[in-house]
Amino acid sequence: MSKRDFYEVLGVAKDAAPAEMKKAYRRLAMKFHPDRNPDNQEAEAKFKEVKEAYEILTDDNKRAAYDRYGHAGVDQSAGGGGAGGANFSDIFGDVFGDIFGGGGIGRSSSNRGADLRYTLELDLEEAVKGTNVEIEVPTLVSCGECTGSGAKKGTRPISCTTCGGAGQIRMQQGFFSVQQTCPTCRGKGKMIKEACGKCQGQGRVEKRKKLSVKIPPGVDTGDRIRLSGEGEAGNQGGQSGDLYVQVAVREHKIFVRDGRDLYCEVPISFCDAAIGGDLEVPTLDGRVKLKVPGETQTGKLFRLRGKGVAPVRGGGPGDLLCRITIETPVSLSKKQKELLKEFQVTLDQEHQRHSPKKYGWFDGVKSFFEDMKS
């Protein structure tokens, strides 16, 4: 007897999307399922036909072969009539797995140890230049007495008598067969008759582990360094988790970092700002000279190229930007105050020349109030 066209079996067009085929498959499979049609051989045959069509058309390679050669292109790869021994939950695992949680995670995944996070505080110099740091992390490690099995020394865990070692059981709810984690072994698939005295059957013990962490140059707050396998040990010999070292750079007394650039404030005296001169400013590589021209105003930014940070992800170093702040003299003597007053008198004689911003601002204020009166 010749087979029907698979697209016709599902009732979809040849260009149907996978989501559309899944919807049609679910509707037809529920309609023809043997639990809904007891002792109905015709319904059982259609049920198998629907399953085979869906399996072929949702496999990209098989669908391409079927579209090109028809049934002759997929009969061998489909395994001919393989749907006969399947149960309902096997067929609908991909359709209802997200609802009932069936079979998504294996025992090896559930036995994996937890990942850990450790916040590492660094000075700016350490973050920029890189360093090696010794840290101590509280964690769970594999028990040396039972080598992580949880069983008493000289014994070993046995397969769970409830799930037969599968870690999961099937429960019938109407015509649904729902897969759930085994309540006896909690998904591990193993049982311990005699527990290890040191770890009480857990397979893990608490320990403070010392580790050496290599900090690459250029890291910044928020960067993470992963130490593979240095997290908590897994259950019953399962894979260990990872340790994530989270970088937090301490506030610096002089510099503020912004990406690859550094910023700092350079206080200078009134005289240095007016006359100009050479100043020594700090960088992470030592002191450098900064030439300040005369008549420099507060807030002026000077850029020292290449004196910033080379980022950890590559690229050249940024710049150091020095912001000038003019410091007003304090604790003046009587004579110093008199000298300043004399100096101020000389400035007032040519105020627009020596303080253009100041007197320009006052002229603007005067004009503002005159406009309000008019």
Amino acid at 295: E
* pLDDT per position as a tens digit, 51-107: 888 988 888 878 888 887 787 777 644 343 344 444 443 444 444 433 333 443 344
The pLDDT of residue 15 is above 80: yes
Q: Scan for tokens 């036909």, then name that residue.
A: 49
**pTM of the prediction?**
0.57
| Nearest-angstrom CA–CA distance, 100 and 177 | 10
Show Cβ contacts of residue 248 under 8 Å, excluding neighbours closer than 6 positions.
119, 120, 121, 122, 221
277-322 pLDDT tens trace: 888 899 998 999 999 998 888 899 999 999 999 998 888 999 999 9
CA 111 to CA 105: how far, in whole Å?
10
Residue-wise pLDDT tens digits, 100-141: 334 433 444 457 888 999 999 999 999 999 999 999 999 888
- Tokens for 60, please give them: 């990209």
The whole-angstrom separation of Cα 4 and Cα 24 is 16
Query: Contact 321/303 with Cβ under 8 angstroms?
Result: yes
For residue 238 the two structure tokens come to 């399962």
Residue 75 exposed, middle or buried by CB count within 10 Å (0-12, 13-18, 19+): middle
> Phi then psi for 271, rounded to 5 degrees?
-65, -45
Which pLDDT does position 217 carry in this prediction? 94
Q: How far is CA 342 from the centre of its chain?
A: 65
Tokens of 68: 């090109």
Instruction: Report whether 218 contacts 311 (CB < 8 A).
Output: yes
